[in-house]
Amino acid sequence: MRGPDSVAPGRRSLGDRFYRPVTAACAAAIPLVLTMLAVYLLHGAWPVLSTHAGQLLTGSVWDVPRGQFGALPVIGGTLLSSLLALVLATPLALSVAILSAELAPRAVREPLTFLVNLLAAIPSVVYGLWGIYVLLPFLRRTVMPGLMLLPGSLFRGPAYGPSLLAATLLLAAMILPFIAGVSRDVLLAVPRAQREAALALGATRWEMIRDAVLPAARPGLFGGIMLGLGRALGETMAVTMVIGNRHALPSSLLDPTYTMASLLANEFAEASSATHLAALLAVATVLLALTLLVNVIARWLVARVERGASMPGRWA
């Protein structure tokens, strides 16, 4: 059994012998679970996917008693709310990460990190309740009337409160700690020598961060952002409580809309007809596929950016 280069049997620990198979098994469990999930969803969704896939993806009428299942509004609502939340949260989260990793004095760093991590630990139903009792009244009374004075259709009323805007703001608050936490760790992992080299070349602190730290950390930062996006796409409870749950694509930020995860949470428990169940599972399948697709696109983007970043002369 012994390979030619192995150590003497007495000195070889149990850990060494089992380490590889155990880690391999654990790693294999992840694609296995994902595959099982996909197979289950596809199997359950097949009655609808095999016959009405077109209606599901392009139809906008969700009428359960009449058996019409068009999921375009929920797909659109999910993408819009998640991407807008990402646009809002990313600059904030990166600023927090840069501040707590590079700029802030030591006495501020630890409390700041602690507070950001605390944000990540709040259950989403608490975010939802905060959304209902604090965010929505504030938006309805203070923010929305002001926004409605602006020209253009982006902020057209009526100001219900529950809206794409409310969901976006809440989601941004929820994914911020994830992006900030990952980004901070990534920034801290950039070798010290890199910063010192930049400073030695006469860079200011800002130039050092911009030209030496951020480019080196870029793949990790993208990873953090993608983690945030994944969470935003799948977030259910809090969004359900503030988005208005209306089966319509929003034409303004103040319009109520719907997301796939909210639809599943709302209708799954009471779905008694076979078609309705299959339609909900089909929506779940689309959500899974969409998440995978977003991740693949993000990886491709990161790879492209990386090739660009490694070109010589960038720091000159």
Q: Is residue 206 involved in binding another protein (CB under 8 A)?
A: no
| Member of 100, 113, 168, 245 binding another protein (CB under 8 A) | 245
**Pattern 123-142, binding to another protein, x per CB under 8 A?**
---------xx--xx--x--
The structure tokens 């019409």 sit at 68
Binding segment toward another protein, per CB under 8 A, in 9-17, 59-67, 102-110, 294-302: 59-67
Query: Please, what is the Cα angle at 57 between 54 and 60, to 5 degrees?
Result: 105
Question: Residue 172: which of 132, 142, 129, 131 has the closest Cα?
Answer: 131
- Whole-Å CA distances, 111 to 170, 224, 291, 292: 23, 21, 34, 35
Q: By CB under 8 A, tell whether 272 contacts another protein.
A: yes
Contact track, another protein, 146-165, x by CB under 8 A: ------------x-xxx---
CB of 168 to another protein, least distance (A): 16
Closest listed residue to residue 261, CA positions, set 227, 286, 231, 235: 235
Q: How far is CA 26 from CA 20, 29, 32, 40, in A?
A: 10, 5, 10, 21
Judged by CB under 8 A, the residue of 2, 11, 20, 66 near another protein is 66
Rounded to whole angstroms, how far apart are CA atoms 128 and 138?
A: 14
Closest contact distance (angstroms) between CB of 49 and another protein is: 21
Tell which one of 267, 291, 295, 298 touches another protein (CB under 8 A).
267
Within its chain, how far is the Cα of 116 from the centroid? 17
Q: Which residues bind another protein (CB under 8 A)?
A: 61-66, 132-133, 136-137, 140, 158, 160-162, 240-241, 244-247, 256, 262, 265-267, 269-273
